[in-house]
Structure 1
Amino acid sequence: MSFTGTVPTRALGPGGPEVPVFALGSWNTWDRMEFDDAVSLIRRAHEVGAAFFDVAHYNMGPHAENAKTDLIFGEAVRASGLGRDEYLLCGKLWLWEYPQTTFADQMRTSLDRIGVDKADLVVVGDYFGEVDVRSIVTDVAAEIAAGRFDAWGVNNWAIDDVRLAIAFAHESGLTPPSFAQLKYGLVRRTMAEGSYYGDLFRSGALALQASDVFEGGILAGKLAPSRKIGADVGGIRERIVAAYPRVLQIADGFGATPTQLGLAFVLAHPATANVLFGVSRADQLEDNLGALAMLDRVGVDALRAATEELWLDREVNADGTWSI
């Protein structure tokens, strides 16, 4: 059954934009479908009020993939007939080669590849070793001043660096990050619900953008993904695969699909402003949209109670090591 309503919106953190609770990602997405299907998917997302697209240029660090997914998205969104003011665009700024590759250079390249003049927001993320947080905040502010985007968030930052970024931005009169894009879902909860980011979420200093909800498709029933998927923090992927039958059983008990269960769980977190997922078929989007009705039908308390046993990374620290 097709979704007939409109996806609700939530604020993406203090000072952040109002966004639909669902957003479509680009990693291994637009380059895995027929072009006409991509155009139809973009139109359908707009039709239901979920025209929020996370689109990155995968060109450095572990994502030096020479991917064309951003180029394809740019062509598809133009073919869809949507004007630039009819959808939200979230870009990525990578830290692996920063500051040698500047944010200004990254934004110019990314926007040129998509074929637009600006993004609405960006995620700054993924680094190894120490970074100069004050320089990052300053350089992000310069891109905001240049009109390339309006708001920003962080992805996979150490919590002390996030706190420093927020404090320095406020002290300097610059724009602080308003959200954190984190792995969060039925089986991975520690980063979002533990003390690492949990305190910032509870205080309202940041909103949560949940990603990798389905563990690269495993929690949607694809137990042996053939494509590249996200990092296995804490080395728990075998346990996640083993837990899938229980996920399916719980979903069946609620009259829902495993993907609807996973998305409803994430939306039940009070800090969640937005859930980022990749879909490569229209029926996948329709199935995901059904999570909204499931959450309304089941309720937060029953959903949390039924899925408590699925929290598999309780002992994983923010750096991926195990607590003793």
Structure 2
Amino acid sequence: MPHSPAGSPVPRRRLGAHGPEVPVLGLGSWNTWDRMSMSDAVALIRDALAHGVELFDVAHYDMGPHAENARTDLIFGQAIREAGVAREDYLLCGKLWLWEYPKKGFAEQLAVSLDRIGTDRADLVVVGDYFGELDVPAVVGDVAEQIAAGRFTAWGVNNWSAGDVWRARRFAAEQGLTPPTFAQLKYSPARRTVPEGEPFAELFADGLAMQASDVLEGGILAGNLHPQRKIGADPGNIRDRIRAAHPLVARVAAEFDATPAQVCIAFCLANPTVATVLFGASRLGQWHDNLDALNLLTRHGSALRTALSAAWSDHDTANPAGSGA
């Protein structure tokens, strides 16, 4: 199955009622850019842009469980410059962490993270990673200050409960501020309870969009059952269940003449609430393989979702209302 040729742009969807149009695929940052040579990173960026994929999720991992002094954002900044890409020709999605908020405020975090990449603004940010009580009005107000300062134009959330997202959207509407327009959620054939549950379904009906992350569970669903690198958190402690689901994913992939990675990406995009799927790639061939998920989606999207129904692994461990509920 050949990958889509340059000049055939990846389809686009709106990232929520208040967000921009984005490609349905985006390249994430955690352990992406630091797993390849600089020349390969430059080639990957150029090839992604040639296919209309100009969305890059890039974060500075420096606090809470992510206090690891990662260099992936520095490498991305160098690679995008060496690729000769003008700032207006790509979309940068950054992160604002709540682990040490408000001690480490958003202005301070952005000043550091943007400087490391080598730019003065993002386009989008994801505000996330907290457990416990959240001062929602303060967060919405602080985000609004950064929007007014020209640091970014739209924002989303990660690891928020559906209730807190509602509170943020309502407070923003009351105050005439920019509401969160998307939720970055772990979503895959194995993790479905939160993204497909009724609490978030009501938000999606209200104009929120989903940005699907961890769609390959750090590579486990693609066949790397015991990744040696650090991967995302494991809500519900279901990694062993997800490993056990991989043979089903592989069997379905074989039935559809596809790879496990392709069926996972196509599964997510067959859900119309998903605006974009984030994934990492450490080599150009892997990027091309994932790109072919769009051909699979066009031909077999709904059938794939039915075939993968038994891979659902968090139906009895996750709260449909999401983190912090």
Structure 2 residue aligned with 1:277, among 279, 303, 313? 279
Structure 1 residue aligned with 2:13, among 1, 10, 13? 10
Q: TM-score, normalised by structure 1?
A: 0.96
Relative to structure 1, the CA distance from residue 320 to residue 12 in structure 2 (aligned partners, 3 Å threshold; closer, same or farther) is closer
The alpha-carbon deviation at position 236 of structure 1 amounts to 1.1
Relative to structure 1, the CA distance from residue 299 to residue 215 in structure 2 (aligned partners, 3 Å threshold; closer, same or farther) is closer
Which whole-Å CA distance do the structure 1 matches of 2:318 and 2:12 have between them? 31
Which whole-Å CA distance do the structure 1 matches of 2:305 and 2:226 have between them? 27
Structure 1 residue aligned with 2:202, among 191, 199, 204? 199
Note the 1:85-124 alignment, pairs <5 A: 85-124=88-127
Structure 2 residue aligned with 1:68, among 66, 71, 85? 71
Which whole-Å CA distance do the structure 2 matches of 1:243 and 1:70 have between them? 33
Which whole-Å CA distance do the structure 1 matches of 2:80 and 2:289 have between them? 22
Which amino acid letter does the alignment assign opposite residue 262 of structure 1?
C
Aligned residues with identical type, % of pairs: 61
The alpha-carbon deviation at position 74 of structure 1 amounts to 0.4
Structure 2 residue aligned with 1:289, among 291, 296, 299? 291
SS of residue matched to 1:219: coil
Contact 1:51/1:87, CA 8 A, preserved across alignment: yes
Note the 1:144-293 alignment, pairs <5 A: 144-201=147-204, 203-293=205-295
Which whole-Å CA distance do the structure 2 matches of 1:245 and 1:288 have between them? 19
Which amino acid letter does the alignment assign opposite residue 26 of structure 2?
A
Contact 2:162/2:322, CA 8 A, preserved across alignment: no
Which amino acid letter does the alignment assign opposite residue 316 of structure 2?
E
Which whole-Å CA distance do the structure 1 matches of 2:312 and 2:195 have between them? 12
Which whole-Å CA distance do the structure 1 matches of 2:113 and 2:149 have between them? 15
- The residue number in structure 2 matching 1:82 is 85
- How many corresponding residue pairs? 319
SS of residue matched to 1:287: helix
SS of residue matched to 2:252: helix
Which amino acid letter does the alignment assign opposite residue 303 of structure 1?
L
- The residue number in structure 1 matching 2:35 is 32
The alpha-carbon deviation at position 320 of structure 1 amounts to 8.0
Which whole-Å CA distance do the structure 1 matches of 2:255 and 2:190 have between them? 18
The alpha-carbon deviation at position 205 of structure 1 amounts to 2.5
- The residue number in structure 2 matching 1:57 is 60
Structure 1 portions without partners, runs of 5+:
none
Contact 1:13/1:204, CA 8 A, preserved across alignment: no
> Is 1:314 matched with 2:315?
yes
SS of residue matched to 2:292: helix
Contact 1:209/1:276, CA 8 A, preserved across alignment: yes
Q: After TM superposition, which residue ranges in structure 1, 4 or more long, deviate above 6 angstroms?
A: none
Relative to structure 1, the CA distance from residue 74 to residue 162 in structure 2 (aligned partners, 3 Å threshold; closer, same or farther) is same
The alpha-carbon deviation at position 93 of structure 1 amounts to 0.2
SS of residue matched to 2:61: coil
- The residue number in structure 2 matching 1:298 is 300
Which whole-Å CA distance do the structure 2 matches of 1:204 and 1:320 have between them? 17
SS of residue matched to 1:122: strand
Contact 1:187/1:310, CA 8 A, preserved across alignment: yes
Contact 1:31/1:69, CA 8 A, preserved across alignment: yes
Which amino acid letter does the alignment assign opposite residue 112 of structure 1?
D
After superposition, the C-alpha distances for 1:139-159 in whole angstroms (9 at most, x for unaligned) are: 000000000000000001012
Which amino acid letter does the alignment assign opposite residue 53 of structure 1?
F
Which whole-Å CA distance do the structure 2 matches of 1:123 and 1:45 have between them? 22
- The residue number in structure 2 matching 1:134 is 137
CA-based RMSD:
1.2
Which whole-Å CA distance do the structure 1 matches of 2:301 and 2:273 have between them? 16
Contact 2:267/2:301, CA 8 A, preserved across alignment: no
Q: TM-score, normalised by structure 2?
A: 0.96
